[in-house]
Chains A and B, each alone.
Chain A
């Protein structure tokens, strides 16, 4: 049985529903509420499960902030855990990962934060049908193919609202000339 990197007590196995339709067994410390996920276990867990496994508890959250300054060691292989920084994640979600066995430690509240962010990115995205409809509609419109690159298919017609349209076009034209020259010279 694995021991909590913070409290050094035995963690308990907890099961969580995961995609596609299966159960994953995670390790959770009953003292500090932190969760240990082995290499691939964090990502497929259904976001709804985070509310059950990692409920909001202000008292525990305050305690977990105080524990962050200590060096943590992997409960599986004993290697020192390293912080993984990703600017896009919410600032309170700081993952600690083991570079040897690739397991991930999440303090109390961070599992929930990570999963909420995952759910948010999924919900914000255009639905499949809408995206295809938009692509078909814009595909014929030359304005969505202007060298504004990736803005075209997703942002158009939002792309029209860009303030510095001339700057973007000039940059796009320069980039197009550069690509053409490169392809000509390198034979790509």
Chain B
């Protein structure tokens, strides 16, 4: 029997508006970050803002234009870029495995009340899945062939429900934005480091104000770290929340728990994943040790919660206290 639709809708609406707010803040910070790096390059390399230097802050304007371009691209075409980078393909409906996948996605779209997302498949033996898109009308779900091989229908259903929960909560907007913005920051980091090392800084360093130089160098040298901080915006809580929402859609916590167990035991490297896209996946494809730890520091540094903890929570939901697994 149905719960209270008003209460559920309010719950989802709250999560969605929180994610939209956070996305706007991250895009704003991203623009500010690019602007600061542009200013620092102008100051350190091009000698702008100094007597006798150029009047037009070329690097700043360029950085602002590039960051606006990247932000707009990541909002409108971010998921397409990521899918292309991961080598995702449309499913071939002549294959029974892909037909079943589409049927499962249809069922979960109906159960969640979402429109039907686009489906993609990645040819990789590592079992994993991800969801992307700026809203539920432009969402995509992507699974690897390894996942289709390894999991049963109920287990795949749990994974798809988890991904649809990300779409429903609009985590996908934030996660897709971060993926493309991280790529942009990596690009900027390389460019600015090269600029500074070959700059006129060494020649005219004595004319610069130390108060300007220190934060500028900090920005240039620590931009990779800042990109990690952006990734931390994708908190572990989202994964726990998506697991809980998935169970709400399937009413079968065991399916998802068994899927997680199988994926954990498969331990195959996912060659196409990288730091910029790792947070998008169902389980972290890079298998960092920090993912298996708990505590505040691990919460801060990791985008994925420990799989064992997720499994334990799901078994608790199924009424199997202590996380004892029945035979899959």
Contacts and interface: CB of A to CB of B under 8 A. Distances in A.
B275 to A, nearest CB: 9
Q: Which of A124, A128, A149 has the most CB of B within 10 A?
A: A149
B89 A150 contact: yes
A121 B85 contact: no
Contact of A44 (B84, B149, B252, B274): B252
Contacts of A118: 103, 107
Contacts of B84: 178-179, 182
Contacts of B108: 43
Contacts of B102: 88
Contacts, number: 148
Given A43-B111, A100-B5, A182-B84, A150 B91 contact: yes
Interface stretch (B29-37, B45-53, B177-185): B177-185
Contact of B112 (A102, A175, A178, A185): A102
B145 interface: yes
A175 B103 CA distance: 27
Interface in A125-184: 125-126, 128, 131-132, 135, 139, 149-155, 175-176, 178-179, 182-183
Nearest to B247: A40
Q: Which of A88, A100, A139, A154 has the most CB of B within 10 A?
A: A154
Contacts of B254: 20
Interface string B148-186: 111011100100000000000000000000011011101
A124 B252 CA distance: 23
Given A19-B154, A43-B107, A88-B99, A185 B89 contact: no
A17 interface: no
Q: Which of B106, B107, B180 has the most CB of A within 10 A?
A: B106
Contact of A150 (B121, B125, B150): B121
Interface in A28-68: 38-40, 42-44
A135 B113 contact: no
B87 interface: yes
Contact of B145 (A88, A122, A153, A186): A153
A188 B111 contact: no
Interface residues of B, number: 60
A122 B187 CA distance: 46
B98 interface: yes
Nearest to B102: A88
A139 B125 contact: yes
A9 interface: no
B125 A40 contact: no
B5 A20 contact: no
A76 B8 CA distance: 15
Contact of B152 (A103, A121, A128, A183): A128
B82 interface: yes
Interface in B59-93: 81-82, 84-87, 89, 91-93
B302 to A, nearest CB: 20
B149 A153 contact: yes
Contact of B123 (A97, A149, A185): A149
A149 B89 contact: yes
Given A155-B95, A182-B81, 10 more contacts: A19-B154, A19-B252, A42-B111, A99-B113, A125-B153, A128-B152, A131-B149, A132-B150, A151-B92, A152-B123
Interface of B: 1-3, 5, 9, 81-82, 84-87, 89, 91-93, 95-100, 102-103, 106-108, 110-113, 116, 121-123, 125, 145, 148-150, 152-154, 157, 179-180, 182-184, 186-187, 248-252, 254-255, 274, 276-277
29 contacts: A20-B252, A20-B254, A25-B1, A39-B3, A43-B110, A44-B250, A44-B252, A88-B99, A88-B102, A88-B103, A100-B9, A101-B2, A102-B112, A125-B97, A125-B100, A126-B96, A139-B125, A149-B89, A150-B122, A150-B123, A152-B145, A154-B145, A155-B92, A182-B84, A186-B85, A186-B180, A187-B187, A188-B85, A188-B276
